[in-house]
Amino acid sequence: MIAVEHPAPPPPTGPVPYERPFALELLADMLRIRRLEERAAELYGAGKIRGFLHLYVGEEAVGVGVLHALTPEDNVVATYREHGHALVRGMNMGALMAEMYGKQEGCARGRGGSMHLFDRATRLFGGNAIVGGGLPLAVGLALAEKMLSGRRVTACFFGDGAVAEGAFHESMNLAALWKLPVLFCCENNLYAMGTALERYESQTNLCIKAASYGMPAVSADGMDIVAVHEAAKAAVARVRAGDGPVFLELRTYRFRAHSMYDAELYREKAEVEEWKTRGPIHTYTARLKSEGKLTEEQFLALDAAANAEVVEAVAFAEAGTWEPVGDLLRDVCAAENPS
Amino acid sequence: MSRTLTYRDALREALREALVGDSRVFLMGEDVGRYGGTYAVSKGLLEEFGPERIRDTPLSELAFTGAGIGAALGGLRPIVEVMTVNFSLLALDQIVNTAAAYRHMSGGQFSIPLVIRMATGAGRQVAAQHSHSLEGWYAGIPGIKVLAPASIEDARHMLAPALADPDPVLIFEHVGLYNMEGELPEPCVVDIRSAKVRREGKDATIVTYGGSLAKALQAAESLAAQGIAAEVIDLRVLRPLDDATIMASVRKCRRAVIVDEGWRSVSLAAEVAARIVEQAFYELDAPVARVCSAEVPIPYAKHMEEAALPQVDKIVTAVKGLFG
């Protein structure tokens, strides 16, 4: 077996180039995701949430930084690790939690669960649990946008593991060939489930792959929300200008197991601990404090607000109801066209 | 009134009508444009509608089928052409895991008004990787509709209701039919819900579809000369199956043979047979019989290919076998 080492880069430093309200909004969103998922993990242990549960803990800066570079009209295609994306896009946390409970008040009536969050109102097109499966979909959404002369950008999130799929290569080629407005966001957390990048890719520089399709490819520190957001803003502007897709690699790290079934036998605890020192929330918090943009009291207030939202979401999910079994076949096809 | 045209021309007229009538409609697939379509179905459309709407794709079945799904979600009415059903397996993930599942999985929030056309079937000596009949596999998937036009009128008129359908519709065109010439009654309206009795009879029901319809009709002609009046049902719609039309015929004729170019095991023919047994068992005078393709990868050599497929004499033999 190849000896694999993933040294964490130095913690992000430097000024936060945002006015206080926006700077704190980024922090608040990361905290909302973190608190939601910590509670979700507990609820999984309690048997309230079942199936697969993939936590984004450690990767929050990626989703928050990129999604804040989009407009509400843009399209988002996400993976099965998408609680954060749904939340930042504007999905009500109660609808999200109820979906994980399997209740019909959930965003998808409890049909999808954690991996299949959909929200028409915020143009969130899933929640795709086939690795790489969202990329062709994103290409098509962007094709529609281009043919209808729209201005929407389609942001497509996928993990590093997807890069090994044929869907990745076919989609990158198609998007570049047709100059489609897609922002490909590769959340590179260095592991395809339990297999390290170096153990499954002959070329570990993912930007080289994207660049080979003739599109701009940029890598950013996914643990640094400022770096993510700045890179995303530039990439979105470029995509919206109509010059075709952009590939954005966000180098990040998953602090928790792949899913709740994962015993984490494939990586060293020391590696995880080292990356945790680079945690996107506490490093950003420290930077804001050092610049005088955040006090401890303000931090505690944001954290308390996130926790209160979670409490409310859990109460909503608990109070939710089960879809009647009589509705089992509802929405397989449109009502007037049963199949 | 009626006029004569080929199955291919009928398909092209349908495409043209859709492209003229709805600016959201576009055709995408391998060699649909400059080449004029592998089977020349889209010949001339590029010149008329331009490369945006008659869109040549790379050999990327997975991506362009998935792009069709995305484009449908994005407000267009894509028609995706896959060269043959064998190649559609490269796109199976997008069809099964995304297109078919999306509406239900999203709690009814999204629908995918997508049409996917592809050629199917054998008889042209193009061997095992271009000759299979896998439409029966697709007919087992909830969330999609599966059509098999076997007549000029269906080739001409199934596309419009397929495009109007809010859910994914797969259309299977048998390669043996493209050159078929026939009468198109005008005006003509077809649905995508029902099976159709193509020949009336009273002694035995032959249930078939697609490329086997002509063989079944020939068999019925031959049987008539031998005193057996066979009724021939063209399924037309492979999912959802029109049980009512099948059962009405079986109850009348009391004997049934299913002719299906797919392999026998776990086939569409097996599904139809099971339904007949479930719904009309006590009205049968003989066991249900099937004429399917032999369970081999379709071979190249002409005599072997012919031996592998349902043929008129096999259908005749199967029907006569029901009469003790």
Domain total of chain A? 1
A339 pLDDT above the threshold of 60: no
Same structural domain for residues B13 and B155?
yes
String of DSSP letters for A9-58? PPPP-S---S-HHHHHHHHHHHHHHHHHHHHHHHHHHTTSS-S-----TT
CB pair distance less than 8 Å for B107 and A331 = yes
pLDDT of A247 reads: 98
pLDDT of A13 reads: 85
A3 pLDDT above the threshold of 80: no
| Contacts with B283 (C-beta within 8 Å, 6 or more apart), sequence order | B250, B251, B254
Distance CA A38, CA A33 (A): 9
Give B63's contacts in chain A (Cβ within 8 Å): 135-136, 139, 167, 170-171, 173-174
Supply the CATH number for residue B81's domain: 3.40.50.970
Give the CA dihedral A123, B89, B314, B233, nearest 10 degrees: 10
A127 pLDDT above the threshold of 90: yes
Picking from B71, B72, B108, the nearest residue to A331 by CB comes out as B108
Of the residues B185, B208, B225, the one at which a domain ends: B185
For A217-273, what is each residue's pLDDT tens digit?
Answer: 999 999 999 999 999 999 999 999 999 999 999 999 999 998 888 888 999 999 999
Distance CA A336, CA B166 (A): 10
Picking from B26, B66, B107, the nearest residue to A137 by CB comes out as B66
3-class secondary structure, B216: helix
Q: What percentage of chain A carries pLDDT values higher than 70? A: 98
For A180-196, what is each residue's pLDDT tens digit?
Answer: 999 999 999 999 999 99
- The pLDDT-based confidence of A337 (bands split at 50, 70, 90) is low
CB pair distance less than 8 Å for B63 and A171 = yes
Q: How far does Cα B18 stand from its chain's mean position? A: 19
Whether A10 is in a domain gets the answer no
| Average pLDDT of span A54-68 | 97
Whether B190 is in a domain gets the answer no
Same structural domain for residues B157 and B238?
no
Residue type, A186: C
Tell me which chain B residue has its CA closest to the CA of residue A115: B105
Q: Model ipTM?
A: 0.95
Strand order in the sheet with B204-208: B196-199, B230-234, B204-208, B256-263, B289-293
Task: Name the DSSP class of A108.
Answer: T
| Contacts with A97 (C-beta within 8 Å, 6 or more apart), sequence order | A36, A40, A106, A310, A313, A314, A316, A317
CB pair distance less than 8 Å for A118 and B110 = yes
Give B54's contacts in chain A (Cβ within 8 Å): none
Same structural domain for residues B20 and B138?
yes
Picking from B52, B70, B111, the nearest residue to A334 by CB comes out as B111
Same structural domain for residues B110 and B168?
yes
Of the residues B185, B211, B237, the one at which a domain ends: B185
CB pair distance less than 8 Å for B106 and A118 = yes
Distance CA B190, CA B320 (A): 33
For B163-188, what is each residue's pLDDT tens digit?
Answer: 999 999 999 999 999 999 999 999 99
CB pair distance less than 8 Å for A140 and B105 = no
pLDDT of A4 reads: 72
Please provide residue B74's backbone torsions phi and psi, each rounded to the nearest 5 degrees. -85, 5
Residue to mutate among B28, B49, B62, with most A CBs inside 10 A, is B62
| Contacts with A19 (C-beta within 8 Å, 6 or more apart), sequence order | none
B272 pLDDT above the threshold of 60: yes
Distance CA A36, CA A47 (A): 16
For B192-209, what is each residue's pLDDT tens digit?
Answer: 999 999 999 999 999 999
Residue in B30, B81, B130, B173 annotated catalytic: B130
Rg (CA), chain B: 19
Q: Which of A142, A180, A147 is nearest to B24 (CA)?
A: A147
pTM of the complete model: 0.96
B144 pLDDT above the threshold of 70: yes
Q: What is the mean pLDDT of chain B?
A: 97
Whether B53 is in a domain gets the answer yes
- The pLDDT-based confidence of A335 (bands split at 50, 70, 90) is confident
Q: Are the C-beta atoms of A229 and A25 separated by less than 8 Å?
A: no
Q: Write the CA distances from A64 to A32, A70, A89, A152, integer angstroms.
A: 10, 10, 9, 19
| Average pLDDT of span A296-321 | 98
Picking from B57, B74, B111, the nearest residue to A144 by CB comes out as B74
CB pair distance less than 8 Å for B63 and A106 = no
CB pair distance less than 8 Å for A334 and B167 = yes
Same structural domain for residues B29 and B167?
yes
B236: tokens are 């037309």
Whether A97 is in a domain gets the answer yes
A294: tokens are 């955040």
String of DSSP letters for B76-108? -EEEEEEEEHHHHGGGHHIIIIIITTHHHHTTT
Tell me which chain B residue has its CA closest to the CA of residue A110: B107
Whether B191 is in a domain gets the answer no
Structural domain of B10 = 2-185
| Average pLDDT of span A37-42 | 97
Of the residues B131, B153, B185, the one at which a domain ends: B185
- The pLDDT-based confidence of A2 (bands split at 50, 70, 90) is low
- The pLDDT-based confidence of A336 (bands split at 50, 70, 90) is low
Whether A73 is in a domain gets the answer yes
Whether B63 is in a domain gets the answer yes
- The pLDDT-based confidence of B72 (bands split at 50, 70, 90) is very high
Residue in B61, B173, B231, B271 annotated catalytic: B61
A1 pLDDT above the threshold of 70: no
For A152-172, what is each residue's pLDDT tens digit?
Answer: 999 999 999 999 999 999 999
Same structural domain for residues B65 and B207?
no
Give B165's contacts in chain A (Cβ within 8 Å): 334, 337
Same structural domain for residues B239 and B314?
yes
Domain total of chain B? 2
Same structural domain for residues B67 and B143?
yes
- The pLDDT-based confidence of A6 (bands split at 50, 70, 90) is confident
Give B170's contacts in chain A (Cβ within 8 Å): none
Whether A234 is in a domain gets the answer yes
Structural domain of A100 = 20-327
Q: How far is A19 from chain B (nearest CA, A)?
A: 35
Q: What is the mean pLDDT of chain A?
A: 95
Tell me which chain A residue has its CA closest to the CA of residue B167: A333
Distance CA B251, CA A154 (A): 55
Same structural domain for residues B135 and B282?
no
The answer to whether residue B130 is catalytic is yes
Q: Write the CA distances from A32 to A77, A113, A307, B166, B199, integer angstroms.
A: 20, 19, 7, 37, 67
Supply the CATH number for residue A322's domain: 3.40.50.970
For B287-315, what is each residue's pLDDT tens digit?
Answer: 999 999 999 999 999 999 999 999 999 99
Q: How far is A144 from chain B (nearest CA, A)?
A: 5
The answer to whether residue B174 is catalytic is no
Same structural domain for residues B301 and B225?
yes
Whether A82 is in a domain gets the answer yes
CB pair distance less than 8 Å for A140 and B72 = yes
Residue type, A78: A
Same structural domain for residues B144 and B225?
no
Q: Which of B313, B317, B320, B319 is nearest to B207 (CA)?
A: B319
A326 pLDDT above the threshold of 70: yes
Same structural domain for residues B68 and B149?
yes
